[in-house]
Structure 1
Amino acid sequence: MSSTSTLTSTRAAPEPALPAARRRGRRRGGLNTPRLLWLTVPSLVWFAVFSVGPLVAMSVISTLRWKGLIYDPSYVGTDNIRHVFSDPVFHDALRNSAVQVAVVIPVMIPLAFMLGYHLSTRPRGYRLLSVLYFSPGLISISITGMIFYGVLSPNGGTNGLLNAAGLNSLAHSWLADPSTALPSLIAIDLWRGVGWTAVLFASRLAGVPGDVIEAARIDGAGRFRIMWQVAFPMVKDYVRTLTMLQFLWTLFTSAALILLLTKGGPGTSSTTLSYLVYEKAFSQSDLGYSQVVGVVLLLIGVVGMLLIRTLLRSPLEKIS
């Protein structure tokens, strides 16, 4: 009888559990197996082909005199670099790009943030306002060019309104005047970008805790002070990200609108670096010159992003 009970208790006894550290070690060791490294291969190949590859090709082509695929390239070393930096057209394009970025970014980001904060408070008709703000960013660049070609042409809407208001002296060819061609393009950039950037800011500001805003209001802070001294610091990382994206967007994508409206003119008054890359490569078949300008454009983009990141660092990042 006793032997039977002993045998039964022996069979019923559970197996000893593995130590917790040993189980964690097995899981951790499984994640570090070389087999899982193969999961990174597709992304590395993608990065090499579509990021590193074009950069290397751009650097190589910048040392060549090459008119295109059906022509044989010839190595010229640094001749293209000397040609670019001594070319007055490049100087004008560099100046115009600097003016464009220096106006668009400081105007667009604060204005979009204020509109976004207003939307985040959910005023009456905020859904309709969100749609209206976001709509310009949904219109294709070709349609935008057609719209503003009609608005800014000598017989277009702008001059028609000025003539109707008795301001005939202010009416002129906005896109054909060297003094107004670039400002007109900058105004179009602002029209396209402010609204949808404001909607993005509003979506981020909606995540700001309401009790923080309410506490500031109880302490006597006004709407303007709450917006800039309470809400802005809490979303500063998001502001920095959108500022960098808008900087790159303005710097690299201005060529399309210029091609549709002014083609860099009159003269070189609206030629930017991104348009100069296109013009030299596809209109003048000077790929070496074009890629030197492309390298300069890339370096300006990197330096600009680092500068924006430094200027818009959060207080915690500055302490660390």
Structure 2
Amino acid sequence: MDNTDEALRERGERFHALHQGPDVFVLANAWDAGSARLLETAGFTALGTTSAGLAHALGRRDGDGGVGLGQTLGNGAAIAAATTLPVSADLEGGFGDTPAEVARTITRAGGTGVVGGSVEDTTGDASAPIRPLDQAVERVEAAVEAARALPFRFTLTARAENFLHGRPDLEDTIARLRAFERAGADVVFAPGLLDAEAIGAVCAAVEVPVNVLAAGAAARMTVAELGALGARRVSLGSGLSRTALTHALRAAREIAEHGRLDRLTQALPMEEVHRWLGSEDPTPPAPPMP
């Protein structure tokens, strides 16, 4: 990928424009450089990283704090370097408790080649997983200020995580998303909404674009149906990486338990994989950042 300021400005503007419509679009989440190339070839217009997909690739559980900022930024840099598409980074809780730490995370992310990122209102503490609203807003404000200071357009997504942490409070979730909108977030996101009614209520409650995660009720709908509810962006989260693991595990069990090898015949031919990757000598992934 061309990582010049001019290229970043072009990708940043292109990513921003996707959110302005008129159609809903899919943010396909890659977990490494190879999957980024495959997803670009499949026809997507923008990519995201996935904290869960990265954690699983490293042999770790998602959300346990086992993946640090350096690994996250290194993964984002490798994905951004592998594609011509704009990339948005899953920055989890911002890798810091204070607004200043979150701002530094956004600034560092801006140096990796990604042109967007998300920040959650989580604490990392299972006994009190969601931050008080005033703290969450201060962190979004700091992230927005850092994003605006970058030399290209950086699309900031603010996430309200209630529904992923056993707090299915739609009223509080909407209040948080509205506060994040007032704080300057470009996109808002409440993963885990339980049904179409809740998705529609969130989309109607704010004026900025809404991201919907393709999981649970949303995964049983089409992209067009989610767009009709008001979603501007549909992200896939760890869905594709888990799908890949699912098929690999099923094939492995057939071999280990029954000695059957025929599932391997369903794999893409090596020549087709090489064609999708687009190069016999792909750009090496960027090293993990310190």
- Please state which band the TM-score falls in when normalised by the shorter chain: under 0.3
* Greater relative CO (CA pairs within 8 A, separation 6+): 1
The structure that has the greater radius of gyration is 1
> Which one has a larger percent helix, Structure 1 or Structure 2?
1
TM normalised by structure 2 equals 0.27
> Which one has a larger percent strand, Structure 1 or Structure 2?
2
